[in-house]
Structure 1
């Protein structure tokens, strides 16, 4: 049985198990005709479309470079800032009531440096007593800042 001719398409968005936005893919004619093209998930690959996709990819690459540069600047500021102090009520043997959360860390950074940090990107150890701890803040997929958190009695 002869293999049917495959069609080249450019994806308009990410499709799992097929490719990312802008990828040139070869698919079966029925898949293209009945699913991808009618749902506007892909378009036929023409030289003009390929040039457009390349321009969009270049813009996205530039945008990612700018974001990484901003993240590197933030990393330098955070690591130069020294320890951030968080005051918690303490009991006997320097144990604290409650725990230090990622929101606490984000708030103290916002308060002292006026820099917005997403709390979901902050990783802290389990803090249950007074002392100094190291927190990691993911600023970009390639950039992570390490800051010291000093838990003091209030």
Structure 2
């Protein structure tokens, strides 16, 4: 089955790539999750726009990724949780969008929320978050979660 990827799929490709996959993998995993679209002549014309939008969000090169990683290492990021119990347990959890907004508010670079790997954060305190900036560069970010 010939598909065009619309999102980054580990071990398969990046958005805009035209890939050949087994029928079951495409029908049961990639298409229902909107990770790919079927490759038709009209869809292949959309590849250019998909790649342009990806490049606008992507870190330019390895040097730029290392520069952004240095900026993230120097940041002090605080996320304000909506509510928490007496023991510091949150009612809900901290999402990737919350962390991206907190980094931007702290004066950091604009990050893509899909590049942020957040463990399930359900308590107040300091937590480590991993940011994938480039295939060769990841940054560790310390996030302080406080209750409002």
Q: Give the TM-score of the pair, scaled to structure 2.
A: 0.58
CA distance in 1 between counterparts of 2:18 and 2:101 reads 37
Superposition RMSD in Å: 2.5
Aligned position for 2:13: none
Moved over 2 A (4+): 14-17
Helix, strand or coil at the partner of 2:90: coil
Report the count of equivalent residues: 96
Aligned position for 1:152: 146
Instruction: Determine whether 1:117 maps to 2:133.
Output: no
> Which structure features the higher share of helix residues?
1
Aligned position for 2:86: 92
Instruction: Determine whether 1:138 maps to 2:141.
Output: no
CA distance in 1 between counterparts of 2:72 and 2:139 reads 7
CA distance in 2 between counterparts of 1:16 and 1:71 reads 27
CA distance in 2 between counterparts of 1:124 and 1:139 reads 14
CA distance in 2 between counterparts of 1:15 and 1:90 reads 46
C-alpha contact 2:71 2:108 (8 A) present in aligned 1: no
Matches within 5 A, 1:20-99: 67-81=61-75, 83-88=76-81, 89-99=83-93
Shift of 1:114: 4.4
Unaligned segments of structure 1, at least 5 residues: 1-13, 18-65
Unaligned segments of structure 2, at least 5 residues: 1-16, 21-59
Give 2:98's match in structure 1, choosing from 95, 104, 122.
Answer: 104
CA distance in 1 between counterparts of 2:66 and 2:111 reads 13
Q: Give the TM-score of the pair, scaled to structure 1.
A: 0.56
